[in-house]
Structure 1
Amino acid sequence: MNDRKDRYMPFVFISLFYLVVSFMIKGQEWMTPAMHITFLAITTVVIATNGITFKWKISAHAAGIAGWLGFIVAYKHAFQATNTLFWPLIVAVALTGLISWARLYLNAHKPAEILGGLILGFTISYGSIALFL
């Protein structure tokens, strides 16, 4: 979607979907506190991206991949005794760079829009785990 205005309706529906699912899975017995915090953070990134889109064409791709990177870094700090997150961390860093480069290469975004998405996704995802877990 080249024009920011083309993103309004899909982003509104995605945000509503995440809100409904967040409400439906709250309190489920299989939902651990870490899973719940993670899902709420994802929902927050989606809604924040949607809200920002009404004024600025922030990169949702960058926000999503940086959110994944933020979760991995936060969980790596939270569970330092385990070494199982090393390779996912390497893959997340590589994909973050690759997706950011691809968005620039395709002229889908300007560097500031990608940087904004990266900061938004990483900050919310990392911060939610670091503060609430």
Structure 2
Amino acid sequence: MARIMALDYGMKRTGIAVTDEMQIIASGLGTVPTAELMPYLEKYFKEENVELVLVGEPKQMDNTASQSEGAILEFLKKFQEKFPQMEMKRVDERFTSKMAVRTMIDSGLKKKKRQDKSLLDEISATIILQSYLYK
């Protein structure tokens, strides 16, 4: 089997999570500056077998697209041009940031560490991946 990757795409940085090869465990991989995301993915795909990439779909409470959706759609177009063979799916990411903050609090992280936005993005990507795996 191959890994599944999840992206919590942001304007400044993107959180990344992946499964193990058996697609059982979702783990945070890190956070990458969004400007460096495509080269990062290209290198990762050469080193690891990934069969599916999940991209968070931010929605408002009334189910309309959030204001960041335009930038995400632009990224998706570039991604599909660069990696046409890679399967991609969108996953509703409502509440993932709130869940990530709750996860950090519950795990006992100090307030200073909880203010690390890159950690928040990585945990959000992991939650996106978990929501896909366990639905």
Per the TM superposition, whether the score is higher than 0.5 is: no
TM-score, normalised to structure 2, is 0.26
Bigger strand fraction: 2
Bigger helix fraction: 1
TM-score, normalised to structure 1, is 0.26
Structure of larger gyration radius: 1
